[in-house]
Structure 1
């Protein structure tokens, strides 16, 4: 699996909770969230664009930082 880093404009626990709920629906991904740094790491074989679209469903600005 490839580990991707995304920057998500999260400002509170509610924001990270929304990201967690959305990513849990995918089922086949592992992820970590660092709220203080506004970073989300996702381990997945899915396409980066698909992961971006999924993260955008939380209503926050999302930026792809690359493979980590």
Structure 2
């Protein structure tokens, strides 16, 4: 599966939970969140654009 890495403006322990919630709804993804480095690594067949849009649903800035 292709691997994608995004920077997400996560500021507290609730932020990785928000990321998990939206990605789990998308389905067919494996991911790790790194709160101290504000990174989300995703293994998925979904397009980068769909993943970016999905992460945007958290209300956090995504780069």
State whether TM-score is above 0.5.
yes
Superimposed CA distance per residue, residues 10-68 of structure 1 (whole angstroms, 9 cap, x where no aligned partner): 001111110011111112000000000000000001110000000000000001xxxxx
Q: CA RMSD in A?
A: 0.5
Distance across 2 between alignment mates of 1:39 and 1:24: 17
Structure 2 residue runs without a partner (length 5+): none
Give the TM-score, by structure 2 length.
0.97
Q: Which has the higher strand share?
A: 1
Distance across 2 between alignment mates of 1:38 and 1:12: 10
Structure 1 residue runs without a partner (length 5+): 64-68
Give the TM-score, by structure 1 length.
0.90
1:49 counterpart residue number:
49
SS of the residue corresponding to residue 37 of structure 2 reads: coil
SS of the residue corresponding to residue 58 of structure 1 reads: coil
